[in-house]
Amino acid sequence: MIKANSIYDNVITKTMAVLFFLMPVVFHPFISDPFSLPKATILRIAVIVLLALLALKAVSKGKIEWKQSPLNAPIMLFFAVTALSTLFSVYPKLSFWGMHGFYFEGLLSLSAYGLIYFISANYLTDVRIILKAIVYSSAIVSLYALVEALGISFFVWKGVSSYPRVWSTLGNPNFLGSFLIMSIPLCMVFMFESKVFTGRIIFFFICLLNSLALVFTYSRAAWLGLFVGAVIFILLVNKKVLKKNIAYMILLGCVGLLAVTFWPRNRELSRNNDNSLKPVISRVLSFGDLKDDDIASRISGWKTAIKMVSQRPVLGFGPDTFGVSFRRFMSADFEKLAGRLKTSGYAHNVFLEYGATMGLIGLAGYLFLLIVFLKTIVGVSRETNDNILATGIVSASLALIVNNLFSFSSLVPETIFWLFMGICSNMTKKSIKEKEIHIPVNIHKTAPYMILAVAGILLILSWRFLLASRFDRLAQDTETAGNLKEAIILQKKSVSMNPSQDIYRMRLAKLYQNGILPEGRTEDREEMFNKSVTEYKKQISVFKYDSLAYNGLGVALTYGAHFLNKKTLPEAVDCFKKAIEYDPYFAEAYSNLGAVYYETGKRNKAVQLYKEIIELKPEVAVNYYNLGLIYYFEKNYDGAVDCFKKALRINPHFEECKEALVEMWQNMEGEYK
């Protein structure tokens, strides 16, 4: 065991405890990314502080120390493969920073996880302080979730309702579920370990809160994960300890069942009030229902993931690029099941995810890491002294792995998972060899000042990400209010403060695009046109498969032709074709291309294009409407009426279609007069 340096190691341990307490609970309702970005910012700030502390410790001792562990080699291998996959990624920038709204994949996040592992394996003075911080944090998270389960929400979230599924401070019911299935086994550990009655009661109630919140997530993958984790816990935990605590476990189950049964808002979900468990039971029974849209869409997504693996089998498309690559290979049934314009940000299966994004080499590296970790921690669980803690860690880890077979992780549980791997290395008796690198004596005097200066600069810069998200949110609200110029100013601030997020640039390009419309001076609209085209082309230069950017560029060029008399329609056609090539089910791109074809006199091409998209997406009303307009303009009234009626059958509230139909009836002659 590395000898503790009391000052630095104590501060490092307390910093880790603060990190793991804050990460689950922190969120910011007034920015465009209210959940994941605040958690990612807390993690990045903690990483900067921890790196500074490690550097100061190393300088003060004149050397860097670490222990040999069975996990060191697999982790270094996995990191190397991730770095290589990032280098050859289809979207290297995204593979480094991680996807907006998630941030749990990508090289930057993996580097943070690696530091968490390294510290946990070598420098913690008391791992239980950190694990208890997770448990106490879960109590706050669960209380908020249960308030949501009563139908009470403190914030209005755009376009979504948190009821009946709760998400608390995690932003997604599945993310909340994946966190709770890791905290519940830890609650059990401390309940079993408590030597005083008060301690057992505290952890009993936290475990109860976690369990109730988990039920109200309605996350089937998390439920299954916890079931597997509970079975493993019972099998591995010391049987004498289990026997002493069996009454608490039975009481927990009984109280939880009664609470779910009589939970006020839960009864409203059931049409038959004498069976308030019906929604929970129905959700459980839907596990094997392959006709369920959620399950069917995930199976469709898995098929697409397999197709993606076959396209780039060595290093994949790059870390965290599944979502931006998915629609290139998506099957026709996915949108019907998941909804129009939907994509799958992740594969909903961790092994297919790594296979698609990091290739078979990355998948092999991840499997190797998992096998070594589970083998090591199970071995530790067989040792009497660490049995309860090790059992809790292995059951929580397996619960997450099972969850990730049917869903995907998020930043909080993923960070906890790497903490567990570090604690596993710390606990194993195989970690007996120590390594060290000596630091030259001549840097001892100046190094601390340099370390503190660099850390200070990085800490200041880390807040810019939150400010950028705040400006992004303000820009969206300002645009909604109708103030385009002010929205552009705010969006430009967002881009300048965080150029790593291309979604901000795309929104800026769209704002410039809207400024081309025939309002205001021609000179101003000309400037808006040039800036919109420039921003879209910048995005295409960093990700050449971006169908949204190609479609946006095509629209900007079309506006330039319509409102500024530019000869840009041929280039717009090329852009729409590219958008369709990289997203074969992109209805808007088909519609835009069809409109340009018709405008340039290519009527047959336009009709054929709309027929193709109707065949691909017969459930989309606007496709019939667009084809009906062409028939109407060509005086093919029978065809127009048929298309308009089909559009209205799909969407009876399609006002533009109703108006077109009325106008046609008013202008038609003969039998339609």
pLDDT tens string 122-142: 998 899 999 999 999 999 999
If pLDDT is split at 50, 70 and 90, which confidence band does 32 have? Answer: very high
User: Mean per-residue pLDDT for 514-530?
Assistant: 88
pLDDT tens string 552-562: 999 999 999 99
Could you tell me the two tokens for 331?
């099957």
For residue 672, pLDDT beyond 60: no
Percent of the chain having pLDDT more than 70? 92
User: Mean per-residue pLDDT for 494-518?
Assistant: 93
If pLDDT is split at 50, 70 and 90, which confidence band does 203 have? Answer: very high
196-200, 530-534, 554-558: range with lowest mean pLDDT: 196-200
Which one, of 605, 602, 550, lies nearest residue 572 by Cα?
550
Helix (H) or strand (E) holding 565: none
Residue 212's pLDDT is: 95
For residue 1, pLDDT beyond 70: no
If pLDDT is split at 50, 70 and 90, which confidence band does 380 have? Answer: confident
pLDDT tens string 263-287: 876 656 555 555 567 788 888 888 8
pLDDT tens string 207-257: 999 999 999 999 999 999 999 999 999 999 888 888 888 888 899 888 888
Residue 304's pLDDT is: 94
Residue 136's pLDDT is: 97
User: Mean per-residue pLDDT for 415-439?
Assistant: 79
For residue 671, pLDDT beyond 60: no
pLDDT tens string 470-497: 999 999 999 999 999 999 999 999 999 9
Helix (H) or strand (E) holding 321: none
For residue 404, pLDDT beyond 50: yes
Residues 6+ apart with CB under 8 A from 347: 301, 302, 305, 322, 353, 356, 408
In sequence order, the β-bridge partners of residue 63 are: 438
Amino acid (1-letter code) at residue 496: S
**CA of 373: how far to CAs of 187, 247, 348, 628, in Å?**
22, 32, 22, 61
If pLDDT is split at 50, 70 and 90, which confidence band does 296 have? Answer: confident
- Buried b / exposed e along 621-639 (16+ C-beta atoms within 10 A): bbbbbbbbbbbbeeeebeb
If pLDDT is split at 50, 70 and 90, which confidence band does 662 have? Answer: confident
Residue 277's pLDDT is: 75
CA distance 577 to 582: 9
Could you tell me the two tokens for 516?
């081309």
For residue 430, pLDDT beyond 80: no
User: Mean per-residue pLDDT for 172-190?
Assistant: 96
User: Mean per-residue pLDDT for 198-203?
Assistant: 92
8-22, 43-57, 107-121, 149-163: range with lowest mean pLDDT: 149-163
Residue 503's pLDDT is: 95
CA distance 633 to 649: 22
If pLDDT is split at 50, 70 and 90, which confidence band does 145 have? Answer: very high
- Buried b / exposed e along 132-143 (16+ C-beta atoms within 10 A): bbbbbbbbbbbe
For residue 187, pLDDT beyond 60: yes
Percent of the chain having pLDDT more than 90? 59
Q: Bigger pLDDT: 131 or 67?
A: 131
114-118, 218-222, 379-383: range with lowest mean pLDDT: 379-383
User: Mean per-residue pLDDT for 356-385?
Assistant: 91
Residue 673's pLDDT is: 46
CA distance 118 to 393: 17
pLDDT tens string 433-472: 566 676 665 666 677 778 888 888 888 888 999 999 999 9
Q: Bigger pLDDT: 552 or 165?
A: 552
User: Mean per-residue pLDDT for 41-66?
Assistant: 89
User: Mean per-residue pLDDT for 85-92?
Assistant: 97
Residue 350 and residue 408 in contact, taking contact as beta carbons nearer than 8 Å:
yes
Helix ranges (DSSP H) in 565-602: 569-582, 587-599
For residue 524, pLDDT beyond 60: yes
In eight-state DSSP terms, residue 65 is E
Residue 669's pLDDT is: 58
If pLDDT is split at 50, 70 and 90, which confidence band does 589 have? Answer: very high
CA distance 112 to 419: 11
In the chain, where are the structural domains located?
A: 6-437, 467-672
Give CATH for domain 467-672.
1.25.40.10
Helix ranges (DSSP H) in 430-520: 447-462, 464-480, 484-497, 502-514
pTM above 0.85, yes or no: yes
Which one, of 276, 338, 285, lies nearest residue 149 by Cα?
276
For residue 113, pLDDT beyond 60: yes
Could you tell me the two tokens for 418?
């790497």
